[in-house]
Amino acid sequence: MFASTASRSVRTSPATRLSQVARQIQPQRQQSRMAHNGTTVKLNTGAHIPSIGFGTWQDKDAQEPAVTIALKAGYRHIDTARIYGTEAAVGNAIKKSGIPREELFITTKLWNNSHHPDDVEKAIDASLKDLQTSYLDLYLMHWPSPFARSDDMMPKDSNGKIKTGDSDYVDTYKAMEKVLQAGKTRAIGVSNFSKAELERLIQETSVVPAVHQIELHPYLQQHSFTEFHKQKGIHVTQYSPFGNQNEIYDAGKGMGKLMQDPVLVEIANKHGKTGAQVALAWGIAKGHSVIPKSKTESRIKSNLEGDFALPREDVDKIAALDKKLRFNDPSETFGWEFYKDLDGKKN
């Protein structure tokens, strides 16, 4: 967060301060369109995904200025989702940036209330409209769990519980294959699937997912699961690469933050980096892409510096940190048993 200066009598919000910073950098747009010269990974489609992306979950009002700053800093991989409510802000920031569309890698996600096959194309069209683009680089099914068909993102019954739907995620994915064929996205994939769910999807559909976005960090390394992805040619994108840094994760409270882990700090000091940058570099060294999020200018820029080569000895040292700690599991809320065959599942 930006602190107000002593000369101000009114404390400004993070979104207001970010807006001020974003306005300050707009006149220099033409001088600052150089993308971060970082690593990329080739997908099974032949396209390349930048190894570091910018996540836009939470803080909806702060996202347009935050994305503006991220693009100025050199990010070219932007990750959003329908449920985040940030697609319009992302679209506005991209449009104002003046960066050619072909230089960007834009990901968004299908939400659970649009899993019925007849709703998938309408859902992607709504996302395209808000993002102000004619195509996506990647369209993901956010979760395998269907909600009831509804305009409400979180449809609930009279008892306040989520109204689940009966659409099969395989049928949902087949509808995603159709929007891929129509050119509305250049790749499709999934998020938050178990191994069994992913295996079934591959067996019963025509297009192998290009990407699987999952919770992954040094405290939840999922070695066998990530190896399975390599065998199938599916790229892994890590969300929550800082583990329990996000205050929304109740499971991570009452314990030390991942970014302050002594092993990460020791490695960071050796390389003149931060614990956060080492956590990102670890993911990249494993062949994954990572999508840290921030609304603070200094952290947005700092995270981009996590794209550096981490020596094998450091990667091996971080391997010992695996605690099989999963921080994001909405099984009870969503009415679906997630991650049944994966590390970190609480019985």
Which tens digit of pLDDT belongs to each residue from 156-189? 999 999 999 999 999 999 999 999 999 999 999 9
pLDDT digits (tens, 9 = 90+) for 290-299: 999 998 999 9
Question: Does pLDDT of 58 surpass 80?
Answer: no
User: Where are the chain's structural domains?
Assistant: 27-253+288-295+323-334
Residue list, annotated binding site = 142
pLDDT of residue 250: 55
Question: Does pLDDT of 29 surpass 70?
Answer: no
- Which one from 84, 139, 173, 339 is the annotated catalytic residue? 84
Pick from 212, 78, 190: nearest CA to 136: 78
Computed on alpha carbons and rounded to an integer, the radius of gyration of the chain in Å comes to 20
The stretch 234-243 carries a mean pLDDT of 96
Question: Does pLDDT of 343 surpass 70?
Answer: yes
pLDDT of residue 176: 99
Residue list, annotated binding site for substrate = 142
Question: Does pLDDT of 12 surpass 60?
Answer: no
The second-level CATH assignment, the architecture, of 27-253+288-295+323-334 is Alpha-Beta Barrel (3.20)
Q: Please give the model's pTM, rounded to 2 decimal places.
A: 0.88
Q: How confident is the model at residue 14 (pLDDT cuts 50, 70, 90)?
A: very low
pLDDT digits (tens, 9 = 90+) for 121-145: 999 999 999 999 999 999 999 999 9
Separation between Cα atoms, residue 109 and residue 141, nearest integer Å: 6
| Residue 84 is among the residues annotated as catalytic for this protein | yes
Question: Does pLDDT of 302 surpass 80?
Answer: yes
Q: How confident is the model at residue 245 (pLDDT cuts 50, 70, 90)?
A: low
Q: How confident is the model at residue 244 (pLDDT cuts 50, 70, 90)?
A: confident
Q: In terms of pLDDT, which residue wins out, 5 or 198? A: 198
